[in-house]
Amino acid sequence: DVKVTQSSRYLVKRTGEKVFLECVQDMDHENMFWYRQDPGLGLRLIYFSYDVKMKEKGDIPEGYSVSREKKERFSLILESASTNQTSMYLCASSSPGTADNSPLHFGNGTRLTVT
């Protein structure tokens, strides 16, 4: 079974702090993604990566950055956390393609609260 592991289940941070969310996958997937999930807004793509050292902006990259130094690990960084970044953050991985043998595999999420 594919496993996508997010290092923290719950995080509480203060406004202005630098926050690191870590994600590791064990299936040698090329693609990795960071989404945030908010009620009424659904899943929104923050950043994604097709390969080590590569990163691409998603729909809402402002206030975030990412790092992919190793194929299995994709980190999301909030440079200076703000209260509007309080959300559920979901990491996902996939192999390339569009068929049903390349679905997104999600981690269980990190619920971040910024106070």
Partner 1 sequence: QKEVEQDPGPLSVPEGAIVSLNCTYSNSAFQYFMWYRQYSRKGPELLMYTYSSGNKEDGRFTAQVDKSSKYISLFIRDSQPSDSATYLCAMRWGAGANNLFFGTGTRLTVIP
Contact residues: partner 1, CB under 8 A = 4, 31, 33, 40-43, 45, 48, 50, 56, 58-59, 90, 92, 96-100, 103-109
Residue 29: closest CA among 80, 112, 104:
104
What's the closest the beta carbon of residue 58 comes to partner 1, in angstroms?
6
Q: Which C-beta is closer to partner 1: that of 84 or that of 96?
A: 96
Q: Which C-beta is closer to partner 1: that of 3 or that of 14?
A: 3
Q: Which C-beta is closer to partner 1: that of 28 or that of 38?
A: 38
User: 102-105 long-range CB contacts below 8 Å, 24 or more apart?
Assistant: 104/33, 105/2, 105/4, 105/25, 105/27, 105/29
- CA pair distance 81, 99, nearest whole angstrom: 37
What's the closest the beta carbon of residue 20 comes to partner 1, in angstroms?
19
What's the closest the beta carbon of residue 16 comes to partner 1, in angstroms?
29
Q: What share of the chain is helix, strand, coil (3-state, %, to 5)?
A: 5, 50, 45
What's the closest the beta carbon of residue 91 comes to partner 1, in angstroms?
8
